[in-house]
Each structure stands twice: as C-alpha cells, then as structure tokens.
Chains A and B, each alone.
Chain A
Amino acid sequence: MTIETEAPRAIAVMRAEHLVKEFGGLVAVDDVSLDVPQHSIVSVIGPNGAGKTTVFNMFTGLYKPTAGRILLGDRDVTRTRPDIITSLGVARTFQNIRLFGAMTALENVVVGRHTRMRAGLFGSIVRPPRVRREEREVRERAGQLLTYVGLRESAFDQLAAQLPYGDQRRVEIARALASEPTVLLLDEPTAGMNPQESAALTAFMRKMRDELNLTILLIEHDMKVVMDVSERVTVLDHGHKIAEGPPEEVRADSRVIEAYLGTPR
C-alpha cells in the first residue's frame, strides 16, 4: 500500500552549524555541526549523556541553542517555535513514548495532522462543509497511516495508553508522519524491541524513506541497526562530535571505540 503526499514539499535538508547548548554551568552540546543530506538516513550515536537528545530538541525547537545556527534548507530556524518548525516539515518521535494517553490511537494521529488542517475557531463552531470534508479526510488519512505502520484496525479506537508497547511505538510514528514531514527525527525507535522487531523496523525505515520521500535522522543505541540502515553516522561523546562518516569508517575509528569501550590499557 502506498500513501501519496499531496502537500507541496517543504525544505528538505537540515544543517546544524557549531551548535552549543549550556544548562547552567553544564555544557551538554559543544560545537557540534551536522549535515543531513536530502533523502538520506543519518544516525547520531554516542554513550548515555552524550547530548544526542539535546541536539534533537534543538532541531525541533524545544530548546534554543546557546550558540550556533540551525538551517532548514536555506531558512534559519535557530529561534523558531517548535510548532512552526513542525509546519515547515520536521516531525519527530520521542525516546520515552509521548502519546496523548487519554486519546485513541486514531485521534493521536489526527492531532499529528494539526498543522495541515485549516479549521479555526469559527469554522469549528459553525462547521461549514469545508470543515466537515476536512474532518472526514483527516480521519480517513489517519486510518491509512495507522495501517501503513502496521496497526491492526481493531486497535484504532483504543486509548493510546492501553495499547501494548510495540503498538504505541507504531502510533507515534504514524502521528509524526501525519504532519507530512520532509525530515523525520526518530529518537531511539528500537528501544525495548527484540532483534526481530528491530530488523523489521530497520526495513520499515528504508521503506518510509523511499515511499514517502523522507529524510531520516536517527538516534540509536543498537549498533546493528545503525550499521545496517544509516548512510552517515555522527558520534557524540560528552557533547563533542568525535567522529563522522560512513558506518564502516566510524566503526573503525579509534576514538569511537575508546568512547564506547573505554581506553585500552
């Protein structure tokens, strides 16, 4: 099943220039530059506390960088609000799933489409035909997306909080896709999955990239997934970028081995 996107493609490529983020005295991210070429899958890896999620939060506008710039295409989005960044075509999932627990799976995906809907206060109250049509289309599309990520139809109307863990991950991806992103940021999507499930998700990431014409930025702990799926890998350690390049190269880098395994003696 394919899902075609009707909205015009927004900016495709993401770039971070010399990002710095300080929390009080703590420098969480120090001078990190990162390029995400169009239609690629790029991974950010590193030990716990390396600053990976902080980089994500700056990309999506949740944190404002202390210094440095973030570009989306040729637009500077360093100080842009998160909801505007989403409307420019950046969507994300979270490391600890953050679904709206009291909403159904389908409603979660419908909310994900917020920026692509037009009904305002007046339209919501009066509900003219244009708004009715929009509502119907959004629900239809949300159903398609849930099917696309592999949720069975009987789960559509279940509360998100009551879904099993794997399904919650699926709904979160569908919710992110609902905003018609050009760049998708996945924060440890395989966390808590067994090897078979991870492998399936890896294949699915490629499928999404190709069918939905996405650019994917990935935070991942599972080395097998990283080496398997990514075209480029950026390694962070203590907020610094210590290596960058194709997976094979990064795997052989002595500083990376050191960061992960400690200094050999």
Chain B
Amino acid sequence: MSTRREPDKGWGEFRAQMREWRAAIERVLPPWWTRAALGILLAFAIVLPFFFSVSSGFMNATIIALAYVVMSLGLNIVVGFAGLLDLGYVAFYALGAYSLGWFGSDFFFKAHVHVLVSGVASHEIGIHLNFLLILIAAAMICAVAGIIIGLPTLRLRGDYIAIVTLAFGEIIGVVAVNGQSVHVGGGMTLTAGNLGISAVDSPYFPGIGVFNELDLRPWYWLALGIVLFVLFVNVRLRDSRLGRAWVALREDEVAAVSMGIPSVRTKLTAYSMGAAFGGMSGAFFGTYFTVVNADQFQFGFSIFILAMVIIGGLGSIPGAVAGGLVLGYINYYLIPDVLNNLPSKFGLNFQVTEIEFGIYGFLLVLVMILRPQGLIPERRRRLEMTSQIGAQDAELEEPTATQTTGVAS
C-alpha cells in the first residue's frame, strides 16, 4: 500500500515545487511583464508569414486554425461564460458561410448589386459586397438567428438547452441541403444544397487587390485581424457588467435573478454574441474554401469546436485560443501533412486521416484525465483546482496516519 501512496505524494510535492518556482519567477519579473510578453507574441504573430513560403501547407493550416480560434472564442462565451451547453454551433457556421455565398457570388443571378468590390467582380451578375461588409452582415444575421433560436430555447434549463440546440443545428443542416428546392423567385433558390455555391468571391481590398491561393499571406493577416478583433471584444465583455452577469447566471441562476439579473435577456445576449462570432468565422471559411456546400455543416463540427473550448479550459479566453490552435493544427497539419504516411513506413496498410476521430477521442480522454481544468484554465477555476488539490493532499495524509498507528498497535 505504501508503494502505491508514494508516487502520489511525490507528484503533490512536485506540483508544490512548481507553484513555488512560478511564484518566485513572478516576483522577479516586473509587473508590466505580461503586457510586454503579449506585445512580443503579437509582433511574432504578425511577422510569422515571412518565415514560411507563401503557399506552404503550414500557412494553410495556420489560417484555418485562426478561423477555428474565432469559432472557439465565440462558443466560449456561450458555454464557458454563460454556462449554456450549445451542441448546435454548426448552425452559425452554416449561416455565416451562406451569408458569404449569398452576398459574394453570382448565386442570386437576377440581382446586380456591387459594393466596393474589385473591377472584375463589379461586372459580374449577382450580389457582390466587399468582404468586410459580408463579415458584418454575417455577424448580424447570425446574431438575429441566435435570438430567434434562443428565445424559445433559453427558457429551458441545463441539459434541455443542449438537446434543443442540437436539434436546431440539425435543422439548419437539413435546410441547407434542401434549400436547393426552396425557390425565392426568379428561378433562384435559397441554397445550392450538396452541389454547393462555388466561385464565391475572394476578399478584395483597395491597394492589396484580390486575394488568391498562390499567396496566402493576405489571408493570414485577415484571419489574424478577425482573431484580434474578437479577442478584444471577448476581453472587454469578460470584465464588464454583462460578463459578470453571465458568470453569475452560470454559478447560481436563482441567486443571479434575485440580484436583479434578467435571466433570459442576459443569456440571449451571450447566445447571440457567440452566434455572431461563429458567423464571422463561417463567412471567412466560405471564402477561404471558395465553396459553400451543405455537406460541410455536420453535427461533428459542433463537437469539434466544443472540444476546443473544453481542451483549452472552459471560460478561459487564452484557453479558447490555445484549444482552437491545437485542434486546428492537429486536424489540418499534424495528421494530414506530418503523420499521415507514418503507418505505411511500418508496413501498415492505413492512413492516419482514417483514424482521426479515434485520435481526437483519445486526446480528449487524455486531457480530461491529466488536466481536467483545460490547458490554460480560467483564473477562478485554477484557484478552485489548487484549493481542491490542497484538500486531496490533506485526505492523502490521513490514511497514512492511521496506517502508522495501525503499525504501532
């Protein structure tokens, strides 16, 4: 028995030692250190593309990972801050992507609307808006959709919200498939179903020109810009009256409403903010993948984003960023580019992409066992966890004590 105890104790001591060192380091560093570190990180992020070729697989993966970070930050508001388990986040990916399909392609071929687009696009049929306008439109459409979906849903409690949002995610997916037979007049349909709306516009900015696949740098900076904007909004919201109200509702709804927080309205704000960010990211994915296809909007996507939020650390903004980056890179770089042909080198007849869901499952279980609070936990949760660790240590002491008395008698 004592042999089984000892590693536990050693582990506890190791953690205590780590905490001590960390505190020592924090004492040495000046208080502006965190800001300086963030500034260095930001500068590094801006110059990152210069270290890679303009169309490398790594750049491609980075751009997608950044778009995932936006999704993960959006869902973190809903699940992490407000504590509403949303299993239908894919709905807002779909709506955002369709906003791009509708307002940035020749899909509505009877219309002739052009706002701030490149010379080529301004002669094409259909609706062509500047990408930034589409981004705003996507955010607004999704925020409104969030309110419409949320109004009946958020009156429910706990698990029921998860079930109903899951259903709404599926409904949007089915509407996307069947939208090709929904006529909106003039022979035009609502969606192109599984055929996909293709030849969507690439972003165009005066002075930069139209983005293309041969040079991924502008895409990267655009994605980074969106991430920074969403990060800013997230941080501001977290430290505001609204952010505190979300956490209060998550912690104890009865107490929160008794303190004067309007439950449904506050939850709706969280839900529609999350939806708006999902929509922005969806619009970006639409233009980056150059197609808006109904089969992109699967239930698995909602779970993928949820996994980012949980692996990163529920309710933690740096955690949501880390979770989005880690899973984004694993999904679009590590598995397809680095590991994919590994089994064949050992004479095994399969590719890693075929077992990727097994890998995600394994990772999720691993994180839940080794680091249940997530990669970068929220300050509050970290405090909770350390206090719990303290309690566990105390519990561990007790059996040892009885054991010694047992030996003595």
**Residues of chain A having any CB pair with chain B under 8 Å:** 60-62, 81-84, 86-87, 91-92, 94, 98-103, 107, 110-112, 114-115, 117, 119-121, 123-127, 131, 135, 159, 161-162, 175, 179
Contact = CB atoms under 8 A, between A and B. Distances in A.
Contacts, number: 105
Interface in B236-253: 236-237, 240-245, 247-248, 251-252
Contacts of A83: 257, 259-263
Interface string B142-186: 000000000000000000000000000000000000000000000
A180 to B, nearest CB: 10
A121 B139 CA distance: 15
Contacts of B251: 100-103
Interface of B: 233, 236-237, 240-245, 247-248, 251-252, 254-263, 269, 273, 380-381, 383-384, 387
21 contacts: A62-B257, A81-B262, A84-B262, A91-B258, A94-B254, A94-B258, A98-B252, A100-B251, A102-B247, A114-B241, A115-B259, A117-B241, A125-B236, A125-B237, A125-B240, A126-B236, A127-B236, A159-B384, A159-B387, A162-B383, A175-B259
A60 B257 CA distance: 10
A124 B381 contact: no
B394 to A, nearest CB: 14
Contact of A100 (B233, B255, B381): B255
A110 B247 CA distance: 12
A83 B241 CA distance: 15
Given A119-B240, A125-B233, 17 more contacts: A60-B258, A62-B257, A81-B262, A82-B258, A83-B262, A84-B262, A86-B258, A87-B260, A99-B255, A101-B384, A102-B384, A103-B248, A107-B244, A110-B244, A119-B241, A124-B243, A175-B259
B387 A162 contact: yes
B150 to A, nearest CB: 14
A112 B237 CA distance: 18
Contacts of A84: 262
Contacts of A60: 258
A57 B236 CA distance: 34
Contacts of A94: 254-255, 258
- B233, B257, B258, B381 — which one has the most chain A CB atoms within 10 A of its CB? B258
A159 B243 contact: no
A135 B259 CA distance: 17
A161 B384 contact: yes
A111 B236 contact: no
A112 B259 contact: yes
A92 B258 contact: yes
A82 B263 CA distance: 9
Contacts of A114: 241, 244-245, 248, 259-261
A124 B260 contact: no
A147 B283 CA distance: 51
B254 A98 contact: yes
A119 B252 contact: no
Contacts of B260: 83, 86-87, 112, 114-115, 179
- A60, A100, A112, A123 — which one has the most chain B CB atoms within 10 A of its CB? A100
Nearest to A119: B241
Nearest to B251: A100
A84 B383 CA distance: 34
A112 B236 CA distance: 20
A209 B370 CA distance: 52
Contacts of B256: 100, 111
Contacts of B258: 60, 62, 82, 86, 91-92, 94
A43 B252 CA distance: 27
A65 B239 CA distance: 37
A135 to B, nearest CB: 8
B384 A124 contact: no
Contacts of A82: 257-258
Nearest to B387: A162
A100 B81 CA distance: 13
A114 to B, nearest CB: 5
B244 A111 contact: yes
A172 to B, nearest CB: 9
Contacts of B233: 125
Contacts of A125: 233, 236-237, 240
Contacts of A100: 247-248, 251-252, 255-256
A120 B255 CA distance: 21
A165 B255 CA distance: 17
Contacts of B247: 100, 102-103
A115 B258 CA distance: 11
Given A82-B257, A86-B258, A103 B244 contact: yes
A111 B380 contact: no
A86 B259 contact: yes
Contacts of A62: 254, 257-258
Contacts of A123: 240
A147 B176 CA distance: 58
Contacts of A124: 236-237, 240-243
A12 to B, nearest CB: 18
A197 B384 CA distance: 29
Contacts of A115: 259-260
